[in-house]
Amino acid sequence: MLDIQHILSPTGPRPVGPFSHAVCAGDFMFVTGQMPTIPNDPTIIVDGGIEEQTRQVMENLRSVLNSKDLDFDRVVFARVYLVNFQDFDTVNKIYELYFDPHKRPARTCIGVTGLAVGALVEVDLIVAL
């Protein structure tokens, strides 16, 4: 039987809903989409626009990864959700700073009509353990 571990990081951002920060199953960790919320209050989005929100999303993801002593070098797949596809280039400029240019994960970018708490961007990950 597959061993499954549910992770709620004590240092990660408080979830905006009833879910774990991540679930480890077999050799992979599935990280819940992170929002640009401040770590201790899931109802407050970081001040600023798409740049600040993208940085906060990536830092919230880093917190979840660090809870398992992992970093972005173990990410095999990412999904980026954007409310406004005109933000695509801006998000990419910040997103790429978190990855080795020779070891970027596979990725899908999806345009959506809305995100929780009024966010402009959300990112989820699949990570190799």
Q: What is the CATH number of domain 4-128?
A: 3.30.1330.40
Rounded Cα distance, 106 and 66, in Å: 21
Residue 12's pLDDT is: 83
Residue 39's pLDDT is: 86
pTM score, whole prediction? 0.96
Q: Which helix (H) or strand (E) holds 51?
A: helix 50-66
Residue 13's pLDDT is: 86
Q: Judging by beta carbons within 10 Å of its beta carbon (0-12, 13-18, 19+), is residue 65 exposed, middle or buried?
A: buried
| pLDDT mean values, one per 10 residues, the chain (129 residues) | 92 87 97 94 94 98 96 98 98 98 97 97 98
* Partners of residue 94 on adjacent β-strands: none
CB 116 within 8 A of CB 35: yes
Q: For residue 103, give the amino acid letter.
A: K
Residue 116's pLDDT is: 94
State the chain's maximal CA–CA distance in angstroms. Answer: 46
Q: For residue 60, give the amino acid letter.
A: N
Domain residue limits, the chain: 4-128
Rounded Cα distance, 76 and 87, in Å: 23
